[in-house]
Amino acid sequence: MSQLDSIRQQLDALATDANNAAAGLAGFSDKFNHTIGLVQATIGGTSTDAEREIVDALSMASEQVRGAVGALAQAAQKAQQYAATL
C-alpha cells in the first residue's frame, strides 16, 4: 500500500469518526436544550441571579456544543473531499 493510499484510508476513517461524533453530540445537544427549557420553565420569571447564571451557563454550553457539531461535520466533509483527490 502506498503512502497516499494509507493517508486516504486514514482521512476516510477520520471523517467517519468525526461524523459519528457529530451525530452523538447532536443528540446530546437536543437533550441538553430540553433540560435548559425545563429549567427555564421551572424558575419562570421569578429567577434570582443564581438561577439566571445557571441558565446563562447552560445556554452558553449549548451554543458551544452546536458549534462543535458544525465544526466536526465540516472537518469530515473537507477530509473526505481531500481524500478523494489523492
Q: What is the tens place of the pLDDT at every residue in 60-79?
A: 999 999 999 999 999 999 99
What pTM value is reported for the model?
Answer: 0.81
Which residues span the domain enclosing 63? 3-85
Rounded CA gap, 45 and 32, in Å?
21
Nearest 10 degrees: CA dihedral of 50, 55, 61, 62? 170
**Closest to 66 in 3D by CA, of 76, 58, 78, 77:** 58
**Closest to 55 in 3D by CA, of 75, 70, 35:** 35
- Which grid coordinates are listed for 20? 459519528
Give how many domains the chain has, as a whole number. Answer: 1
pLDDT score of 84? 94
- 18 and 75 Cβ atoms separated by less than 8 Å: yes
Instruction: Tell me the pLDDT tens digit for each residue of 15-37.
Output: 999 999 999 999 999 998 999 89
We report the CATH number of the domain holding residue 71 as: 1.10.287
